């Protein structure tokens, strides 16, 4: 307990409002956590010959519903805000990092290497190279593990990794026919050629091409897949709604208790200062129960309320080798240990990444499920938060449904990850049959205990800016380990394309 308090004070010292947070934290510490702290005497995962790589700090902009306060920004503006927040929080000098990596999913064409635009804009030295990676919803995980790789290989000592997603604006293109005509127009030499090309434009040319509404390989939307997955694992509507409610409730109390200290304040140009996530809306089972199925109609179980919503947001973490961090006078938050990437059938196992990744990474680290103190699983998102009342959402949806042309609906559908998905993962991990048949194990993986699981809310309630969620998960694990006094944390996430990621994080000794 003493060490815990000490720990919080240390961590709190970075924050301007540490006193308030300390109070809140003491209150939320439960008896059960005390018990855990006492039984902790686990070995460290440090291995001879392998560099210790640490998470020094992690920050994020508030995650906002798309189309709200961030609506007029560009993606690199958000990423810039996160980077500036990180600089401010750590007091890092602007030329003290060796490399910057960002993850993003839907690319703004003008800033396709958003990492470079954001780092320049954030004032980092123009001598620091930066690149952008993408791997759907685990893009920023890739950014972080790339940083780990660079450091482990001895190429860099300190790297900033992050992620950004901006869904308030997405690239909508001309149709392929129109693009072809326009490109030919560039090459046309005579007026006659130009006129004949212009004359060839038909109505069909004018219909725009929206960002992919479905998994490319299977042509199935993720919502549809999530609904099928929920059915395959027998996850009922009620279970999903309960989980959604849990996520929102936990997020709300974490927010109220000031636990979400990775959130930085951001003065949005032309708007107010934003300092809180705005998608957390605990509803009631009745309200959620009134919603109609969003994808498989009418008997589906995935609704606006139990899937995650479209979010704008950015995150950033500072990753260093342990020596470098200590040499620079930092007190690291956690060690980044083993990690794995997995991939499966993108049709029927699209969202089962955590189920495959968890046992694999635990095996790599030589840990058992019971060794893990903190679980942070990516749980994806919900449309319901577009409006606070479920009823309104239904109306909004009905309206959207009527106006088939409303592009936003189409886009909305393309990218939801769902929460039936997380339940399905939990059930898959708890199923002997699945373990034996698909994971090649003797028995089930075992589901994470709910009392250690996503205790500060998840993507469903906090929001899920695809490219930025990974850093949020890792930072949250680090903060929860500090707060709850555990030693090991596990991050797991699924991504489009049937891929997944899992990482073990070890608390930095206090």
Partner 1 sequence: MSCECFKGSQWRAGISTDHQSAADLTDRLSGSGSKSPRKPQRQHFDSELVSFTSYHCSLTSAPKMAGVRALGVLSRFTSRRYALYSGATCRTFSVAPAMLARTHVNYEVKGDVAVVRINDPNSKVNTLSVQMQKEMAEVMDEVWANNAVQSAVLISSKPGCFIAGADINMIQGCNNAEEVTTLSKEGQKMFERIEKSPKPIVAAINGSCLGGGLEFAIACQYRIATKSKKTVLGTPEVMLGLLPGAGGTQRLPKMVGLPNAFDMMLTGRNIRADKAKKMGLVHQLVDPLGPGLKSPEERTMDYLEEVAIEYARGIVSKKIPIHKVKGSMEKIQDYVMSFGLVRNQIYNTVQSKVMKQSKGLYPAPLKIIECVKAGVEQGPVAGYLAESQNFGQLAKTSESAALIGLYQGQVACKKNRFGTPQREVKTLAILGAGLMGAGIAQVTVDKGVHTVLKDTTVSGLARGEQQVYKGLNDKTKKKNITSFQRDSILSNLTGQLDYSNFAKADMVIEAVFEDINIKHAVLKEVEAVVSPHCIFATNTSALPIKDIAAASKRPDKVIGMHYFSPVDKMQLLEIITTDKTSKDTTASAVAVGLKQGKVIIVVRDGPGFYTTRCLAPMLAEAVRVLQEGVDPKKLDALTTSFGFPVGAATLADEVGIDVAAHVAEDLGKAFGSRFGGGNVEVLKTMVDLGFKGRKSGKGCYIYQPGLKTKEVNPDIVDIGQSSDQDSPCYRLVSRFVNEAVLCLQEGILINPLEGDIGAVFGLGFPPCLGGPFRFVDSFGADKLVEKMRQYEAVYGNQFTPCQLLLDHAKDSTKRFHM
In whole angstroms, the minimum distance from the beta carbon of 229 to partner 1 comes to: 7
- Strand residues in 362-510 grouped as ranges (E): 374-377, 488-495, 499-507
Closer to partner 1 by Cβ: residue 218 or 265: 218
Strands 374-377 and 488-495: parallel
Measured CA to CA, the distance from residue 364 to residue 359 in angstroms comes to 9
Active-site residue, selected from the candidate residues 137, 156, 414, 471: 137
Active-site residue, selected from the candidate residues 156, 414, 471, 494: 494
In whole angstroms, the minimum distance from the beta carbon of 348 to partner 1 comes to: 2
In whole angstroms, the minimum distance from the beta carbon of 498 to partner 1 comes to: 10
In whole angstroms, the minimum distance from the beta carbon of 64 to partner 1 comes to: 33
Q: Does residue 494 carry a catalytic annotation? A: yes
Q: Is the dihedral of CA 143, 68, 413, 434 positive or negative?
A: positive
Only one residue has tokens 């103190």, namely 373
Examine residue 298 and say whether the peptide bond preceding it is cis (omega within 30 degrees of 0).
yes
Closer to partner 1 by Cβ: residue 60 or 237: 237
Closer to partner 1 by Cβ: residue 427 or 483: 427
Q: How far is CA 176 from CA 46, 182, 183, 303, 357, in A?
A: 53, 10, 10, 33, 38
Measured at the CA of 294, the angle between CA 290 and CA 295, to 5 degrees, comes to: 145
Closer to partner 1 by Cβ: residue 51 or 290: 290
Q: How far is CA 444 from CA 350, 417, 438, 468, 475, in A?
A: 20, 24, 10, 31, 29
In whole angstroms, the minimum distance from the beta carbon of 395 to partner 1 comes to: 21
The binding site for partner 1 (CB under 8 A) comprises 216-219, 224, 227-229, 231-234, 296, 299, 345, 347-349, 424, 427-428, 431, 433-434, 437-438
Closer to partner 1 by Cβ: residue 124 or 295: 295
Measured CA to CA, the distance from residue 327 to residue 22 in angstroms comes to 28
Closer to partner 1 by Cβ: residue 69 or 419: 419
In whole angstroms, the minimum distance from the beta carbon of 407 to partner 1 comes to: 23
**In contact, 101 and 147? CB cutoff 8 Å:** yes
Using DSSP, state whether 153 is helix, strand or coil: coil
In whole angstroms, the minimum distance from the beta carbon of 301 to partner 1 comes to: 11
Q: What is the DSSP string of 41-90?
A: -PPP---TTS--EEEEEEEEPPPEETTSTTTT--HHHHHHHHHHHHHHHH
Q: Is the dihedral of CA 296, 301, 302, 304 positive or negative?
A: positive
Closest CA to 102 of 138, 58, 139: 139
Using DSSP, state whether 343 is helix, strand or coil: strand
Measured at the CA of 164, the angle between CA 161 and CA 166, to 5 degrees, comes to: 175
Q: Does residue 414 carry a catalytic annotation? A: no
In whole angstroms, the minimum distance from the beta carbon of 499 to partner 1 comes to: 16
Closer to partner 1 by Cβ: residue 85 or 497: 497
Helix or strand run (H / E) with residue 311 = strand 311-321
Closer to partner 1 by Cβ: residue 227 or 379: 227
Tokens of 346: 């993108």
337 phi/psi in degrees, rounded to 5: -105, -135
Active site residues per annotation:
137, 494
């Amino acid at each position: 307990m003493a060490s815990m308090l000490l720990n919080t004070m240390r961590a709190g010292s970075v924050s301007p409002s540490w006193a308030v947070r300390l109070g809140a934290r003491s209150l939320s510490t439960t008896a059960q956590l005390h018990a855990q702290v006492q039984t902790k005497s686990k070995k460290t995962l440090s291995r001879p010959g392998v560099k210790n790589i640490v998470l020094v700090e992690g920050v994020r902009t508030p995650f906002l519903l798309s189309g709200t306060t961030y609506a007029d920004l560009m993606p690199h503006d958000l990423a810039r805000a996160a980077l500036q927040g990180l600089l401010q929080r750590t007091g890092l000098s602007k030329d003290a990092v060796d490399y910057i990596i960002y993850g993003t999913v839907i690319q703004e064409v003008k800033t396709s290497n958003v990492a470079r635009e954001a780092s320049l804009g954030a004032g980092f030295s123009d001598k620091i190279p930066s690149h952008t990676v993408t791997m759907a919803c685990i893009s920023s995980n890739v950014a972080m593990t790339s940083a780990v790789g660079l450091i482990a290989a001895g190429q860099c000592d300190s790297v900033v990794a992050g992620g950004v997603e901006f869904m308030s604006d997405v690239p909508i293109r001309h149709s392929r026919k129109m693009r072809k005509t326009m490109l030919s127009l560039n090459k046309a030499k005579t007026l006659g050629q130009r006129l004949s090309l212009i004359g060839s434009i038909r109505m069909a040319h004018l219909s725009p091409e929206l960002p992919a509404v479905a998994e490319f390989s299977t042509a199935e939307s993720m919502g549809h897949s999530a609904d099928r997955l929920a059915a395959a694992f027998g996850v009922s509507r009620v279970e999903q709604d309960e989980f959604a409610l849990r996520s929102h409730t936990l997020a709300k109390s974490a927010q109220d208790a000031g636990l979400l200290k990775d959130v930085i304040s951001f003065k949005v140009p032309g708007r107010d200062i934003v300092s809180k996530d705005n998608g957390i809306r605990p509803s009631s089972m009745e309200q959620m129960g009134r919603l109609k199925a969003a994808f498989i109609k009418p008997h589906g179980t995935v609704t606006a309320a139990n899937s995650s919503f479209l979010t704008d947001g950015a995150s950033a973490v500072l990753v260093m080798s342990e020596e470098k961090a200590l040499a620079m006078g930092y007190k690291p938050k956690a060690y980044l240990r083993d990690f794995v990437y997995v991939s499966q059938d993108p049709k029927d196992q699209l969202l089962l990444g955590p189920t495959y990744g968890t046992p694999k990474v635990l095996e790599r680290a030589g840990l058992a499920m019971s060794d893990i103190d903190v679980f942070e699983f990516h749980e994806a998102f919900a449309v319901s938060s577009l409006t606070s009342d479920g009823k309104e959402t239904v109306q909004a949806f009905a309206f959207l449904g009527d106006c088939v042309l409303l592009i936003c609906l189409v886009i909305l559908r393309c990218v939801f990850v769902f929460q039936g998905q997380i339940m399905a993962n939990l059930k898959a991990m708890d199923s002997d049959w699945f373990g034996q048949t698909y994971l090649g194990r003797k028995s089930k993986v075992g589901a994470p205990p709910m009392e250690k699981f996503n205790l500060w809310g998840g993507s469903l309630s906090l929001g899920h800016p695809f490219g930025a969620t990974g850093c949020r998960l890792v930072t949250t694990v680090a903060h929860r380990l500090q707060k709850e006094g555990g030693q090991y944390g596990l991050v797991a996430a699924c991504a489009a394309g049937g891929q997944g990621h899992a990482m073990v994080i070890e608390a930095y000794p206090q």
